[in-house]
Structure 1
């Protein structure tokens, strides 16, 4: 029983620092467990008490990284944590806020509009790396340096 208490205290210590997905918490606790069933029981208890929540983890992940990355990159990061696809889709920002994020990221990285085709391609690659889809990239390149009233036209 001492090992379970030690496992419980380790899990509480990890969760007190930041939100974690069940998969991440399981991975971090695995070296300290004698039996994987101990981890399963502990994670079940934590989920029942709402001490650990994959939904809360997904929301905090999107909140912390959503101002820098697009839906594709955010979804990939959440999939790496083995979250359910419905949880991922519910946590992701909507398309209109993604467009605003792409414009802001583009203006921050490139202070002025791309002067030639090569610069435009460089800006598009930058946004693609950040996880924005093609339509959002086209919109951001077209509208990022226009007046705000014209953005959603």
Structure 2
């Protein structure tokens, strides 16, 4: 509980502060409650404002969880989105409903593979440019360097390491088959 040194009331009402916060970004019930508490409003006033915001539809944790989950589907793993939603103070039931509606294990693997292929090409071009600029060979082989770079990026996005290994193995075997068909020896 915060102790105020002055007895003056905050300049804005809790309702005004809540609307101001919600006008910038969608917030969860927990996030808005925390912000109002940090501003020093009484818990009874906060509860009243939160109830009013929910009744007006300005706070809807289920809808927010689903929207965040859908928006991050193409860029982040299920595990990473789960962690982000937990950090926003959502209850596990709401999080699970949103993730079930958005993520399937097959789709997540495909998304991981798509990102890995894109980054493999980008990092390969970066490698080629650096080797060309310096006119010297690197100590680490190109494929190993690419695997490390792409794996690091995928793990940062929250993909499980076993999925990352499978995806990189698939890319490597596909690239090796392509090399064999191009080289008619």
The interval holding the TM-score normalised by the smaller chain is 0.7 to 0.9
**Is the 8 Å Cα contact of residues 21 and 83 (structure 1) preserved in structure 2?**
yes
- Alpha-carbon shift at residue 77 of structure 1 (Å): 0.8
Is residue 63 of structure 2 the alignment partner of residue 49 of structure 1? no
1:20-76 deviations in Å (ceiling 9; x for gaps): 111211222223343122112211222233220111221222233222111111111
How many pairs are equivalent? Answer: 145
What is the rounded CA distance, in whole Å, between the counterparts of 1:101 and 1:40 in structure 2?
A: 41
Closer, same or farther: CA 19–34 of 1 in aligned 2, 3 Å: closer
1:66-113 deviations in Å (ceiling 9; x for gaps): 22111111111111112111211222222122112212221232205x
State the structure with more CA Rg.
2
Give the secondary structure class of the aligned counterpart of 2:113. Answer: helix
Greater displacement, 16-25 / 71-80: 16-25
What is the rounded CA distance, in whole Å, between the counterparts of 2:110 and 2:18 in structure 1?
A: 38
What is the rounded CA distance, in whole Å, between the counterparts of 2:37 and 2:168 in structure 1?
A: 46
Residue 38 of structure 2 corresponds to which residue in structure 1? Answer: 31
What is the rounded CA distance, in whole Å, between the counterparts of 1:25 and 1:144 in structure 2?
A: 44
- Alpha-carbon shift at residue 120 of structure 1 (Å): 2.2
Is residue 145 of structure 2 the alignment partner of residue 123 of structure 1? no
**Is the 8 Å Cα contact of residues 19 and 56 (structure 1) preserved in structure 2?**
no
**Is the 8 Å Cα contact of residues 29 and 39 (structure 1) preserved in structure 2?**
yes
Closer, same or farther: CA 91–144 of 1 in aligned 2, 3 Å: farther
Is residue 137 of structure 2 the alignment partner of residue 137 of structure 1? no
Hey, which bits of structure 1, 4+ residues long, moved more than 6 A? Answer: none
**TM-score, normalisation: structure 1:** 0.77
What is the rounded CA distance, in whole Å, between the counterparts of 2:57 and 2:171 in structure 1?
A: 42
Closer, same or farther: CA 63–144 of 1 in aligned 2, 3 Å: farther
Residue 107 of structure 1 corresponds to which residue in structure 2? Answer: 117
Residue ranges of structure 2 left out of the alignment (5+ in a row): 1-8, 125-140, 175-185
Q: What is the root-mean-square deviation of aligned Cα atoms in Å?
A: 2.9
